[in-house]
Chain A
Amino acid sequence: MLNLGAINASILTLVTFLPAIGALVLAVFPRKVIAERWFALGISLVNFIFSLHLLRSDIPTQLSTATVFQFEIDIPWITSPNIHYHLGVDGISVWLVILTTFLVPLSILVSWHSVSHRVKEFYVLILLLETAMIGVFLALDMFLFYVFWEATLIPMALLIGIWGHERRIYASVKFFLYTAIASVFMLGAIIWLYSHFHTFDFATIKQALQTNPSEISWMASFWLFLGFFIAFAVKVPLWPLHTWLPDAHVEAPTAGSVLLAGVLLKMGTYGLLRFNVGLFPDQARFNGPWIMTLAIVGVIYGALVAMVQPNLKKLIAYSSVSHLGFVVLGIFSLTTFGMDGAVFQMLNHGVSTGALFMLAGMLYERRHTYEIKNYGGLATPMPLYATFFLVITLSSIGLPLLNGFVGEFLILAGAFQAKALWGALAATGVIWSACYMLWMYQRVFYGAVTDDHNAHLPDIDARERLALWPTVIAALIMGLAPWWWLARIDSGVLKLLPTLKTITQVIGR
């Protein structure tokens, strides 16, 4: 029998560092000894299975237990400054970790043939990136969080810069500089908190701020809030800080786009939720109006710009700006509906936009172009592909019974509760998203085949189906049985803001 206690104590470390160990092994052994694709796929699948163990935790489905974080591990790492290796998982991060471990094997599958040079380095970087991303979601020591946060930067910049398309170097450097410079502000805020509280521990600082809000002056907490906010807003990206995103997405290889949209952007919204709202609820309330205004501008602006994009990948990138605007809106509505919906929408966006980028990549492998005008009538040669694409498109639009609907509905409900005008304005975003997605779908798939090159495109093969099925199934289950997800999310969100009611109390179930 396996010793469950030992597993529980080390599961977070295992899930975080297994990919890094895999990367190390892959880097050291020569190419002939290891089939790098199979090895990377194996490691990431094993990690996915391990990460499912996190669901066996006692993450409360109701607000009853006192502790929030499960599977905690807390070891002193550096004594001066007082830094701990402190990991833990709660109802918010558990899903984001699983989203990460879910998307990594898929992104390896879609890179199977499209990455043909420097194959080994590619998978080493993907695995390193996985470790860093999971670390961001699990770290409970702010310093450790910052280390993982910065660590995601380098593999992603290299993925874009080495395996990207024509303007890859420009996109890679832009991505790196935007994020690195913005996170300096977060580092400043973290150091300030340390010099005040003499600890980097998230829970301790939160406790101190909660029990004695006058511990730090209003002005100080305003600047701290802003410091964190800038770092996260660039990552999300919130309008008008989004300009790096279309470049990075268009130039990135498929796997890079999938992980960038699927996981890296969520690090920003996760940070907003965990740090900005979690540590400074009063500031979140005070600054909420202008942040929500920016979010709504982002929703509408992203949708309108997406509509006129001639390039498929750029269209999906701008749709991300729009969808992430929704998430930020939900977070700063500071209502149970809004925040639960925001977390749920993060997962949705990860699944559906991740799948959209995979689909776009498959098309690119066949025709080496992302221009929508080069396609048309693809439903005839590629019926199966068209079906998958349709399901994901509908999920992205937010059709009821698919996942997108649940998230958008909850966010809009939260926004209406906060202020009816915000809800009304944001609701137009749903309409816009239907416009640009369906119009794009129509131009690519319906009608007669306009270009002879497209007449005999092969439909998707078994490997590609294998990569797409999980996303479709996930979209369906999340749409049909959102409660399963929301129960855990709810417990995490409630711990952020003690004044909130549980979703059960709100809907009176």
Chain B
Amino acid sequence: MNPITNTDYVTILPELVLAAFGLIVMLVEPFVTKGGSRKPLGYLACLGALASLAATWYQAGSPYTQGFFKMVLVDHFSVFFHVVIALVLFVALLGSLDYVERQHIRAGEFYALMLFGAVGMDLMSSATELVLIFIALEISSISTYILAGMRRRVAISAEASLKYFLLGSFATGFFLYGVSLMFGATGTTSILAIGPQLHAGGFNPLVFAAVALMFVGLGFKIASAPFHVWTPDVYEGAPAPVVAFMSTAPKAAAFAVLLRVLFAAWTPGWFWPVWISAALSMTLGNIGALRQTNIKRMLAYSSIAHAGYLLVAFAASKAADTAGISAAIFYTAAYAAMNVGAFLVISHLAGEGERFVAIDDYAGLSRRQPAVAASLALLLLSLIGIPATGGFFAKFYVFSAALQANLVGLTILGLINSGIAAYYYLRVIVVMYMREHPAEHEHGHGAERITIPEGVALTLSVLATLYLGIMPNRVLQLAIEAAKDLLR
């Protein structure tokens, strides 16, 4: 067997960097003065996120490198997702600096777990071996289970954590079962080897069961219907910056895994499960969001709907064509940009103990904090899919790929859903701009100005959303490259 070389380590360089920074944060924590500000730890973690970005940059110099006995693959695909995850991590960390202080959360564990979680997510997008994917999935999941329960004195936070943990473990169990069936059917767990095996062998019902089971496991992670029921409760209970993080980065990673499993190996039997799940997610997500009064729950249902739009792109994917796959990849980036920002605004306004998370608490926000209100309005417009925002092009690419693949029914359903969705996003804008600030809140709530780290994080998210909406060329090109590497 080959010895492990330096090249092997380079293939997991971003993961190594993140893990190292996570350990450093935990080691440094005892030395921060008791009762003093814990922000230095946060800045250290931010530095870690940037360092992993730099490591990814270094990797991008030599794409398509395999390492660790072909278990890890660095290609345009993995680089794309590494960048998305690193940026989301950076923005979410910046946004949580003040939040952690305000909510009296244990800073050391918090930042370290964010970094460790990102290790798992990074590895999910670059692993090409099913067991390694499972391990990466667990690293990412366990970190997020704990993060969801970080508001220790709040019952719903503990509830969120427990619910997430129980259902999540169940789902990963499904995934593992699927992996073992796949091994039984093909004799290998390497994604790159499964494809040829499948094409060499004939029809094997085991493979269909394996694909279906893996889809169940991953469907839970991406919060697609009918595996979505945990989402609103968990998003409501978990700390807002954690939701900003876990509604985007682990989701992007899970989508990456799904893309690899379905399309790199080109496994059979995925079309109808994906089609049904897409239709259900869009419809149930949007209908569920209509009646929410809590903004976190509303965005939870909205994230279910967005998982549905994304699955439309999956359904539109064809073996010879990168349109559907690149649309899905672009969508993850655009969704990450806008959703992280929206949750950061929530986290900024939530106040101590997250008291202000009802949509009505946003009344008159445009007068108290015009810049924050304008940013949130822009992000919500992007979630609706109004032109000149990233959300528009994301939807545009998805639906035009779907039309090219002749999925007219699914496209029409998606467009109708986008129309319904406009209503509930719009409601928040209406409340912010057209309702007056309730008198009893005059002092206290909403008076605190946005801090510099929060402002920087929000600005980054808004700029990314605008960039994707006005000049989507570059990112789309990268997504196409990624899709090509995936199908190679």
- The answer to whether A151 and B426 touch (CB under 8 A), given A80-B476, A161-B433, A188-B415, is no
A195 to B, closest residue via Cβ? B403
Residues in B427-471 with C-beta less than 8 Å from chain A: 430, 433-435, 471
Please give the distance in Å from B487's CB to the nearest CB on chain A: 17
Of the candidate stretches A93-101, A166-174, A309-317, A414-422, the one touching chain B is A166-174
Of the candidate stretches A8-16, A176-184, A451-459, A474-482, the one touching chain B is A176-184
Residues of A within 8 A of B404 (CB): 195
A188 to B, closest residue via Cβ? B415
Q: Tell me whether B400 and A147 are in contact (CB under 8 A).
A: no
B400 to A, closest residue via Cβ? A191
Q: Mark A217-253, 1 if CB is under 8 A from B, else 0.
A: 0000000000000000000000000000000000000
Q: Tell me whether B473 and A81 are in contact (CB under 8 A).
A: no
Residues in B359-413 with C-beta less than 8 Å from chain A: 366-367, 370, 381, 386-388, 396, 399-400, 403-404
Q: Tell me whether B403 and A180 are in contact (CB under 8 A).
A: no
Decide if A194 is an interface residue (CB 8 Å cutoff): yes
Q: Tell me whether B471 and A78 are in contact (CB under 8 A).
A: yes
Q: Tell me whether A172 and B430 are in contact (CB under 8 A).
A: yes
Of the candidate stretches B5-13, B217-225, B286-294, B417-425, the one touching chain A is B417-425
Decide if A449 is an interface residue (CB 8 Å cutoff): no
Residues of A within 8 A of B435 (CB): 169
Q: Tell me whether A168 and B387 are in contact (CB under 8 A).
A: no
Q: How far is the CA of A22 from the CA of B458 in the complex (A)?
A: 24
Q: Tell me whether B400 and A173 are in contact (CB under 8 A).
A: no
Residues of A within 8 A of B396 (CB): 81, 191
Residues of A within 8 A of B403 (CB): 191-192, 195
Q: How far is the CA of A430 from the CA of B217 in the complex (A)?
A: 69
Decide if A154 is an interface residue (CB 8 Å cutoff): yes
Q: Tell me whether B426 and A173 are in contact (CB under 8 A).
A: yes
The 8 Å CB contact of B388, one of A151, A158, A162, A181, is A151
Q: Tell me whether B387 and A151 are in contact (CB under 8 A).
A: yes
Decide if A118 is an interface residue (CB 8 Å cutoff): yes
Decide if A116 is an interface residue (CB 8 Å cutoff): no
Decide if B63 is an interface residue (CB 8 Å cutoff): no
Q: How far is the CA of A275 from the CA of B194 in the complex (A)?
A: 51
Q: Is the interface of B mostly helix, strand, loop or mixed?
A: helix
Q: Tell me whether A154 and B381 are in contact (CB under 8 A).
A: yes
Q: How far is the CA of A81 from the CA of B403 in the complex (A)?
A: 14
Decide if A112 is an interface residue (CB 8 Å cutoff): no
Decide if A150 is an interface residue (CB 8 Å cutoff): yes
Residues of A within 8 A of B268 (CB): none
- The answer to whether A181 and B419 touch (CB under 8 A), given A80-B476, A195-B403, is yes
Please give the distance in Å from B409's CB to the nearest CB on chain A: 13
Please give the distance in Å from A28's CB to the nearest CB on chain B: 11
Residues of A within 8 A of B423 (CB): 177
Q: Tell me whether A184 and B418 are in contact (CB under 8 A).
A: yes
Q: How many B residues are at the interface, by size bracket?
A: 20 to 34
Q: Tell me whether A161 and B430 are in contact (CB under 8 A).
A: yes
Q: Tell me whether B418 and A169 are in contact (CB under 8 A).
A: no
- The answer to whether A168 and B434 touch (CB under 8 A), given A177-B422, A177-B423, A191-B399, is yes
B412 to A, closest residue via Cβ? A188
Residues in A167-214 with C-beta less than 8 Å from chain B: 168-169, 172-173, 176-177, 180-181, 184, 187-188, 191-192, 194-195
Decide if A146 is an interface residue (CB 8 Å cutoff): yes
Residues of A within 8 A of B419 (CB): 180-181, 184
B403 to A, closest residue via Cβ? A195
How many of chain A's residues have a CB under 8 angstroms from any CB in B?
A: 30
Residues of B within 8 A of A154 (CB): 381, 386
Please give the distance in Å from A123's CB to the nearest CB on chain B: 14
- The answer to whether A79 and B473 touch (CB under 8 A), given A158-B433, A161-B434, is yes
Q: How far is the CA of A507 from the CA of B387 in the complex (A)?
A: 45
B387 to A, closest residue via Cβ? A147
Decide if B472 is an interface residue (CB 8 Å cutoff): yes
A80 to B, closest residue via Cβ? B476
- The answer to whether A184 and B433 touch (CB under 8 A), given A78-B471, A154-B381, is no
Q: Tell me whether B400 and A194 are in contact (CB under 8 A).
A: yes
Residues of A within 8 A of B388 (CB): 147, 151
Q: How far is the CA of A121 from the CA of B371 in the complex (A)?
A: 12
Could you say which of B367, B419, B435 has the most chain A C-beta atoms within 10 Å of its C-beta? Answer: B419
Residues in A318-368 with C-beta less than 8 Å from chain B: none
Residues of B within 8 A of A181 (CB): 419, 422
Residues of B within 8 A of A188 (CB): 415
Q: Tell me whether B473 and A80 are in contact (CB under 8 A).
A: yes
Q: Tell me whether A169 and B430 are in contact (CB under 8 A).
A: yes
Residues of B within 8 A of A118 (CB): 367
Residues of B within 8 A of A151 (CB): 387-388
Q: Tell me whether A150 and B386 are in contact (CB under 8 A).
A: yes
Q: How far is the CA of A191 from the CA of B433 in the complex (A)?
A: 33
A181 to B, closest residue via Cβ? B419
Q: How far is the CA of A187 from the CA of B476 in the complex (A)?
A: 21
Please give the distance in Å from B389's CB to the nearest CB on chain A: 10
Could you say which of A121, A168, A180 has the most chain B C-beta atoms within 10 Å of its C-beta? Answer: A180
Q: How far is the CA of A357 from the CA of B198 in the complex (A)?
A: 71
Residues of A within 8 A of B370 (CB): 121
Residues of B within 8 A of A192 (CB): 403
Residues of B within 8 A of A172 (CB): 430, 434
Q: Tell me whether B415 and A176 are in contact (CB under 8 A).
A: no
Please give the distance in Å from A176's CB to the nearest CB on chain B: 6
Q: Tell me whether B430 and A173 are in contact (CB under 8 A).
A: yes
A161 to B, closest residue via Cβ? B434
Q: Tell me whether A180 and B400 are in contact (CB under 8 A).
A: no
Q: How far is the CA of A154 from the CA of B392 in the complex (A)?
A: 15
Residues of B within 8 A of A169 (CB): 430, 434-435
Residues of B within 8 A of A153 (CB): 386
Please give the distance in Å from A183's CB to the nearest CB on chain B: 10
Q: How far is the CA of A100 from the CA of B29 in the complex (A)?
A: 62
Residues of B within 8 A of A81 (CB): 396, 400
A158 to B, closest residue via Cβ? B433
Residues of B within 8 A of A146 (CB): 387
Q: How far is the CA of A150 from the CA of B387 in the complex (A)?
A: 7
Q: Tell me whether B434 and A78 are in contact (CB under 8 A).
A: no
Could you say which of B386, B422, B433, B434 has the most chain A C-beta atoms within 10 Å of its C-beta? Answer: B434
Residues of B within 8 A of A121 (CB): 366, 370
Please give the distance in Å from B142's CB to the nearest CB on chain A: 39
Instruction: Given A161-B430, A195-B403, output 19 extra A-B contacts at Cβ < 8 Å.
Output: A78-B472, A80-B473, A80-B476, A80-B477, A80-B480, A118-B367, A150-B387, A154-B381, A161-B433, A162-B433, A172-B430, A173-B426, A176-B422, A176-B426, A180-B422, A184-B415, A188-B415, A191-B396, A194-B400
Q: Which 9 A-B pairs have the closest CB atoms?
A: A147-B387, A161-B434, A181-B419, A150-B387, A169-B434, A79-B473, A184-B415, A191-B400, A180-B422
18 residue pairs A–B, Cβ–Cβ below 8 Å = A81-B396, A118-B367, A146-B387, A151-B388, A158-B433, A161-B430, A161-B434, A168-B434, A172-B430, A172-B434, A173-B426, A176-B422, A176-B426, A177-B423, A181-B422, A187-B415, A191-B399, A195-B400
